[in-house]
Structure 1
Amino acid sequence: FVNENPEINVIIPHIGFLNGGYAKMPIFFDKPNVYFDTGTATLEAIKTVLDNVGAERVIFGSDVSGTSMPFYNYTKVELDKVMKLGLDENSMSLILSGNIERLIPQKFVKK
Structure 2
Amino acid sequence: MVKDKVKTPPAVIDAHAHCGIIDRGWPQSYPAYARHAATTDIGGAALFSPVAEIYDRYDAGFADTPAWRLRRKESNAYLLSLKPAEMTVYPYFFIWNDFAVEQLSAAHCGIKWHRHDDEPVYHYDDPRCRAALDEIRRRRLPVVLEEEFDHTVRFIRELAHGITVIIPHLGMLNGGFRSIAEAGLWAQENVWADTALADRTEIREYIRTYGHGRLMFGSDFPFGDPASELQKVRSLKLEPAIEAAVLGGNFIRLQACVNYR
* TM-score when normalising by structure 1: 0.78
Q: Displacement, 1:3?
A: 4.0
Aligned match of 2:248 in 85, 92, 97? 97
Is this contact kept in 1: 2:167–2:174, CA < 8 A?
Answer: no
Give the structure with the higher percent strand. 2
- Equivalent residue number for residue 239 of structure 2: 88
What amino acid is the match of 2:227? K
Q: 1:19 to 1:107 in 2, by over 3 A?
A: closer
What are the ranges of 5 or more consecutive residues in structure 1 without an aligned counterpart?
none
SS of 1:102 mapped into structure 2: helix
Distance 1:88 1:6 in 2: 33
Deviation of 1:20 after TM superposition, in Å, equals 3.6
- Give the deviation of 1:64 after TM superposition: 5.1
Higher helix share: 1
Residue number among 145, 156, 165 corresponding to 1:2 in the alignment: 156
Deviations 1:75-102 (A, max 9, x none): 1111111011111111111101111111
Give the percent of matched residue pairs that are identical in Structure 1 and Structure 2. Answer: 35
Spell out, residue by residue over 1:26-78, the C-alpha distance to the aligned partner (whole angstroms, 9 max, x if none): 12232011111000101011111111111101100111576xxxx6xx11111
Q: Does 1:24 align with 2:172?
A: no
Query: RMSD across aligned C-alpha pairs, in angstroms?
Result: 2.1
Counterparts of 2:247 and 2:202 in 1: how far apart (Å)? 17
Deviates more, 1:18-27 or 1:30-39: 18-27
SS in structure 2 at match of 1:91: helix
Give how far 1:23 is off: 2.4
CA distance in 2, matches of 1:107, 1:24: 32
Aligned equivalent of 1:47: 204
Alignment-derived partner of residue 229 in structure 2:
78
Structure 2: 5+ residue runs without aligned partners?
Answer: 1-154
Q: Which amino acid aligns with 1:2?
A: I
Superposed displacement of residue 18, structure 1: 2.6
The structure whose Rg is larger is: 2
TM (normalized to structure 2)? 0.36
